[in-house]
Structure 1
């Protein structure tokens, strides 16, 4: 890929898991870019799945449970926004910032098929 690795790492977070997939598939060599792309896929993909589950449970219209899932959805939105900002900044600054748990998986998957930084 003919792009600065810091730029590619930051851009892999721009549209969540969508740009993560694009950069992961396009970049075959650079572990740094592949790591950030995979972390984007795992973080935003996980948020998307959790959001769908919470929406389904909220739709069941069970009074107290629906209230709890609405609160959890709001919290999930805040976590997603803050995470997105932190990941964008670290990616564009060229930092190898690993999220807890997700970062380890991203590192493992990013190193498969990549040869260097």
Structure 2
């Protein structure tokens, strides 16, 4: 494992990129110009966080509809639990040194990575 611009190993830096979501993802995309591993995980973290924010807004809007919204609001707890488990899984994969690619999210992450 190689070191990154901030002096940590690349797997630890990739975990941190997931830990603070959008904020740490964007910071590492800007700071880390050479380490492809960290840049990928930072970009994937950023795109995933944006997707979760959009999903949260949609769920909140649907939750305003009487009866159907209440059911969706209750079911959303399971969605947020799944997102939390996914977040832990991605941090584990980053710590293990694996570039695990989420379907669709990783494609957008590749495009985002190229922008910075």
Q: What is the aligned partner in structure 1 of residue 31 from structure 2?
A: 26
| Aligned length in residues | 111
CA positional deviation for 1:36: 0.2
Q: What is the aligned partner in structure 2 of residue 17 from structure 1?
A: 22
Change in 2 beyond 3 A, CA 1:75/1:15:
same
Contact 1:9 1:32 in 2 (8 A): yes
Bigger relative contact order (CA 8 A; separation at least 6): 1
Q: What is the aligned partner in structure 2 of residue 54 from structure 1?
A: 59
2:19 match: secondary structure: coil
- Measure, in 2, the Cα distance between the counterparts of 1:7 and 1:105: 23
Q: Which stretches in structure 2 are left out of the alignment for 5+ residues?
A: none
What's the TM-score, normalizing by structure 1?
Answer: 0.83
Q: Which stretches in structure 1 are left out of the alignment for 5+ residues?
A: none
RMSD of Structure 2 on Structure 1 (CA): 1.8
Partner residue of 2:92 out of 80, 89, 104: 89
Partner residue of 1:64 out of 57, 67, 78: 67
Large movers: runs of 4+ above 3 Å: none
| Segment drifting more, 72-81 vs 93-102 | 72-81
Q: Does 1:75 align with 2:78?
A: yes
Contact 1:29 1:113 in 2 (8 A): no
What's the TM-score, normalizing by structure 2?
Answer: 0.84
